[in-house]
Structure 1
Amino acid sequence: MTHKIPTFPADFTWGVATSAYQIEGAAFEDGRGPSIWDAYALMPGKILNGENGTTSCDHYHLWQQDLDLIQNLNLNAYRFSVSWPRVLPEGMGQINEKGLDFYDRLIDGLLERGLDPHLTLYHWDLPQALQNRGGWANPDIVQWFTDYALTLHRKLGDRVKSWCTFNEPWCTAELGYHIGRHAPGIQDLPTAVLASYHIQLAHGQAVLALRGENVRGEVGTVLNLYPVDPATGSPEDQEAALLLDAKINCWYLDPVFRGTFPERALQHYQNQLGAKMPDLDLEALKVAAQPLDFLGVNYYYRYWVSTEGKTLQNVERTDMGWEIYPEGIYRLMKDLHREYPVPKYYITENGAAFKDELVNGQVHDAERVRFLQDHLHHLQRAIAEGVPVSGYFEWSLLDNFEWAFGYAKRFGIVHVDYDTQQRTLKDSAKWYRDFVGEQRGILQKAPQAKGIF
């Protein structure tokens, strides 16, 4: 069902989001060091079709036209991440000035176009040099990450609108160190639990350090969060849903807001791992609970939990196989505001992959248009009921390297021909441009930048 979307607040932030490894390319240029994703892509069978992010969307060279593109979508903000190995090839120590200068130019380019820079410190591309020392399982990484944050702040801090410490730490710990579907490809639950703990400490210490340097921009973090529903009213399904919620949502929310891990999940891991359970200093964990200016929420789908292996039938799904559940964004934001209040929330990612096809210079992605319309409708419901959501970043600006799926999944509202690097607005981009233009009171459609479309 397509809804007419009411007006959002006049000062609402409208943007798009990307991440460094997924779009930048230039993997071995200008002094950038290897990341864990460069190494992971070399492992046979890890990435679909043996693909990698060496070139990707070549944003490192095409950033100016990409910023023109964002401006021409009537947006007022851009969320991007910094490549840690581009700035610090060894993860620490010597700064790669060419790499840091790239982000210096990028931020200046954003400001020249009236776009607020929303910077994410870590979107999964750990320097391989640090992984060689244990990565997120090494307690020293708390200091390595804090030093990295300060390196960026001292160069860019006068111009960044918001600082996000981590993007989706659940993915870093669970997919990277337990399931092994993401870099570095480790499959060990105790290591994953330890990694998640160090991420929380690193978040807290980095926030403290930024505050200590009188950071001018907002400071927060970004979590991927999900409504979790039991398939039935049975005690088994109810308990399974509560446990999953504790492991994927509260395990990352509770430290940031309460300085603790949720007891249900902590007890579960202790029972499951026994003597292999890492020694977590729960007193030290309190550092994670620093006051935040915002919480970023990435919402894609809900979990539907059945202990009998039942699956949801007759629901719309994206090309990722994820249920399309727009009401989930309303439920999620209402629940968060009740349990984990902050001055403001951003929807830092929301979008979908579909089987888009470029035909005669056009991409008719009606499913994505409907996806955006329906999610924005339910987001506005939450705002109308008092949830302080201050911005929305569509994921993603460009089709890009979708991690273990390589280039097989297209999340962009802009189609990318990876052979020619030609960008083409999909119908969803045109709809988003016109919708945001109306919301912001920009009467005319923005002119299209020459040579991009």
Structure 2
Amino acid sequence: MRYRFPENFWWGSACSALQTEGDSLNGGKSQTTWDVWFARQPGRFHQGIGPENTSGFYQHWKQDIALLKQLKHNSFRTSLSWSRLIPDGTGEVNPEAVEFYSHVIDELLAQGITPFITLFHFDMPMVMQEKGGWENRDVVAAFCRYAQICFDLFGNRVKHWFTFNEPIVPVEGGYLYDFHYPNVVDFRRAATVAYHTVLAHSLAVRAYRAGSHDGEIGVVLNLTPSYPRSAHPADVKAAHHADLLFNRSFLDPVLKGEYPADLIALLKEYDQLPACQPGDKELIADGKIDLLGINYYQPRRVKCRDSAVNPDAPFMPETLFDYYEMPGRKMNPYRGWEIYEPGIYDIITNLRDHYGNPRCFISENGMGVENEQRFIENGHINDHYRIEFVSEHLKWLHKGISEGCNCLGYHMWTFIDNWSWLNGYKNRYGFVQLDLETQQRTIKQSGKWFANTAEHNGFD
């Protein structure tokens, strides 16, 4: 069968500033929470590799953009670093950062590659975290100022902006499950962080619209469909609760301008509602977006709890459900994640049927594999497994588009093997192999396949 995609479909990949730039404490940049955490606890990072050892985009940006062109990208998503652009978080703009990001944007445009720019991708400036991070409304206001500066500096060339990448992840990692700084485990504080992130998003959207910029603004959410173990009402209720907490807590505000009533009722029942202020409701209503980025990696499978919750235990999401390992599921054995290609179809059809069919695109989808060097053939990694992964997801995406879903593109995570938070370089995701010691870049078989697919706007 031939799979052809709509005209002007966005073919590309995604990355982030902290995971690719390197020079983590050079060029006038201040520390992020990751720089500080790595300095304090390097043992928590795979093989002791921290954010200063990334794929070197700060030095190799021109070479890397030439590779993007070779991979037939017509679009590319990356992020700006708040701590590089405004080192103290609220004060003077760093001219070295302005020059760097201007060069990157200009070169992308010169190569016919449309820049998609994210404002915040997990990299909180440490000076802002020391003020309480997203728990502090002063930091929310500072983010709005940072966003406004970015719009003013680059908005004449950047037409696709995204306030946050996966805003639920810092909530989960930093305030529930101890895999991001500040390593807090407290649901109430997590709820406050999530709520204030929505307010920060909405303030940035307001600022963008007030500036009458020629472009559009959105957000990137990692949507993880919650599938119940069975049709039993208890399992269905468990999946609904998981969906409320991990998907709709951000999806509804940015697309409908309000929170789901049953999410509010649920948090109220367990005394976990964050504090609100006058004007918040109107601000959230103003945060509705023009374009939704969808990151999809794996499904979430849940069931009702089989055992009672310890009455002395703190409230956590797992108070409401248990995770379920479906027998016979397809797995990525290297990353430990389930591969479920129809999930990408379920996401976009849900958006079509329940959210007014918003303009959207797949902003991340990818397969991490450990020790890919074992698949080298004739000097190149023959990552046939990644080609299969991408093509099978694209088939389901094509099906959704053919049924009327308003999905405008597909961006793979990621362009080049890059640093991945606590995992370092344990799992490689790139179309391009990176040799950390020599910084040599070599296109993998999947990169060649993707280039051909993008050039022909589809595949057979």
Tell me, yes or no, whether TM beats 0.5: yes
State the secondary structure of the residue aligned to 2:242: helix
Residues 73 and 429 of structure 1 are in contact (CA less than 8 Å); yes or no, is this contact kept in structure 2? yes
Please, which moves more after superposition, 107-116 or 139-148?
A: 139-148
Identity of aligned residues (%): 36
Q: Distance in 2 between matches of 1:26 and 1:388?
A: 39
Match for residue 417 of structure 1 among 435, 453, 456: 435
Match for residue 362 of structure 1 among 380, 391, 412: 380
| CA positional deviation for 1:5 | 4.6
Q: Distance in 2 between matches of 1:341 and 1:353?
A: 33
| CA positional deviation for 1:236 | 2.1
Q: Distance in 1 between matches of 2:279 and 2:108?
A: 41
Structure 2: 5+ residue runs without aligned partners?
307-322
Q: Distance in 1 between matches of 2:199 and 2:227?
A: 30
Q: Deviations over 1:340-398 (max 9, x none)?
A: 23551111111111232263421111111001000011101111111111111111001
Q: Which amino acid letter does the alignment assign opposite residue 275 of structure 2?
A: D
Residue 385 (1) aligns with residue 403 (2) = yes
The equivalent residue for 1:139 is: 137
Please, which moves more after superposition, 9-18 or 48-57?
A: 48-57
The equivalent residue for 1:311 is: 325
Residue 285 (1) aligns with residue 281 (2) = yes
Q: Which amino acid letter does the alignment assign opposite residue 267 of structure 1?
A: A
Distance of aligned partners of 1:281 and 1:243 in 2 relative to their CA distance in 1, 3 Å threshold: farther
| CA positional deviation for 1:282 | 8.1
Match for residue 150 of structure 1 among 121, 141, 148: 148
Please, which moves more after superposition, 311-320 or 364-373?
A: 311-320
The equivalent residue for 2:93 is: 95
Residues 13 and 76 of structure 1 are in contact (CA less than 8 Å); yes or no, is this contact kept in structure 2? yes
How many residue pairs are counted as aligned between the two chains? 436
Match for residue 331 of structure 1 among 346, 352, 360: 346
Q: Distance in 1 between matches of 2:431 and 2:163?
A: 26
Mapping 1:7-22, distance limit 5 Å: 7-22=4-19
Q: Deviations over 1:21-64 (max 9, x none)?
A: 11110011110000011112234243223221102101100000
Q: Which runs of 4+ in 1 moved over 6 A?
A: none
Q: Which amino acid letter does the alignment assign opposite residue 296 of structure 1?
A: G
Q: Which amino acid letter does the alignment assign opposite residue 437 of structure 2?
A: D
Q: Which amino acid letter does the alignment assign opposite residue 36 of structure 2?
A: A
Residues 255 and 285 of structure 1 are in contact (CA less than 8 Å); yes or no, is this contact kept in structure 2? no
Q: Distance in 2 between matches of 1:165 and 1:254?
A: 16
Q: Distance in 1 between matches of 2:342 and 2:38?
A: 36
Q: Distance in 1 between matches of 2:238 and 2:157?
A: 45
Residues 295 and 342 of structure 1 are in contact (CA less than 8 Å); yes or no, is this contact kept in structure 2? no
Q: Distance in 2 between matches of 1:374 and 1:113?
A: 29
The equivalent residue for 2:318 is: none
Q: Distance in 2 between matches of 1:183 and 1:402?
A: 15
Residue 351 (1) aligns with residue 366 (2) = yes
Q: Deviations over 1:193-217 (max 9, x none)?
A: 1011111111111111111111112
Mapping 1:59-98, distance limit 5 Å: 59-98=57-96
Q: Distance in 1 between matches of 2:325 and 2:452?
A: 37
Distance of aligned partners of 1:207 and 1:337 in 2 relative to their CA distance in 1, 3 Å threshold: same
Distance of aligned partners of 1:101 and 1:220 in 2 relative to their CA distance in 1, 3 Å threshold: same
Q: Deviations over 1:75-111 (max 9, x none)?
A: 1111000011000111111111101211110000101
Q: Which amino acid letter does the alignment assign opposite residue 345 of structure 2?
A: Y
The equivalent residue for 2:317 is: none
Residue 58 (1) aligns with residue 73 (2) = no
The equivalent residue for 2:312 is: none
Q: Deviations over 1:175-208 (max 9, x none)?
A: 1222221133222221111011111111111111
Mapping 1:21-36, distance limit 5 Å: 21-36=18-33
Structure 1 length as normaliser, TM-score? 0.92
Residue 320 (1) aligns with residue 317 (2) = no
Q: Distance in 1 between matches of 2:117 and 2:364?
A: 14
Please, which moves more after superposition, 188-197 or 313-322?
A: 313-322
Q: Which amino acid letter does the alignment assign opposite residue 162 of structure 1?
A: H
The equivalent residue for 1:236 is: 234
Q: Which amino acid letter does the alignment assign opposite residue 331 of structure 1?
A: D
The equivalent residue for 2:309 is: none
Q: Deviations over 1:131-162 (max 9, x none)?
A: 00000000112211110011111111100020
Residue 212 (1) aligns with residue 227 (2) = no
Q: Which amino acid letter does the alignment assign opposite residue 205 of structure 2?
A: V
Q: Which amino acid letter does the alignment assign opposite residue 219 of structure 1?
A: I
Q: Which amino acid letter does the alignment assign opposite residue 95 of structure 1?
A: V
Match for residue 296 of structure 2 among 296, 299, 302: 299
Match for residue 46 of structure 1 among 34, 44, 47: 44
Structure 1: 5+ residue runs without aligned partners?
442-453
**RMSD in angstroms over aligned alpha carbons?**
1.7
Q: Deviations over 1:391-430 (max 9, x none)?
A: 1111100111111212111111111111111111111111
Residues 33 and 86 of structure 1 are in contact (CA less than 8 Å); yes or no, is this contact kept in structure 2? yes
